[in-house]
Amino acid sequence: MTDITQPSYATPRSSRACTPLPSEIYEVQRAVEIMRHISRNDQTMIAEIARLRETAAKLRKQTQDIRDVVDCERGRRERMEAYFTYWNKIEGTWPRKWLYGEAMVPAKYLRPEGGDAM
């Protein structure tokens, strides 16, 4: 048989001549133990990642809730600032009926029609 090489890899057609001898049983067992250890570490990491994702989802929900509360509080604060900016103290001598009209006075304080004082 002639030695024909592949143009892109420059290796012999048959690599049996360069194939290493089989590994010892001890080396195979060691490789399996290393892979088992890596797999255990990966499974532990996957479980930890799942817990962290759950925690992140809860924190995202809490963050959105807190943002909603902050937006409400900001609206209340702005309304209070606007109120106090234009607020004027009313003198206590002004009559209630003059300020609010008859509709704001409870019925028990109104005089009955056609009658005198209560």
Average pLDDT score, the chain: 79
Is residue 117 situated within a structural domain? no
Question: Residue 30 and residue 35: Cα distance in Å, rounded?
Answer: 9
pLDDT digit string (tens) for 50-85? 999 999 999 999 999 999 999 999 999 999 998 888
Classify 112 as helix, strand or coil.
coil
Stretch 93-103: mean pLDDT: 68
Is residue 83 situated within a structural domain? yes
Q: What is the pLDDT of residue 40?
A: 97
Domain assignment of residue 38, given as a range: 22-87
In the numeric block, the tokens 């994702």 are attached to 53
Is residue 60 situated within a structural domain? yes
Is residue 103 situated within a structural domain? no
Q: What is the pTM of this model?
A: 0.44
Angle value at C-alpha 100, between 102 and 87, nearest 5 degrees: 175
Is residue 26 situated within a structural domain? yes
Question: Residue 73 and residue 78: Cα distance in Å, rounded?
Answer: 9
CA distances from 20 to 17, 32, 41 (A): 9, 19, 31
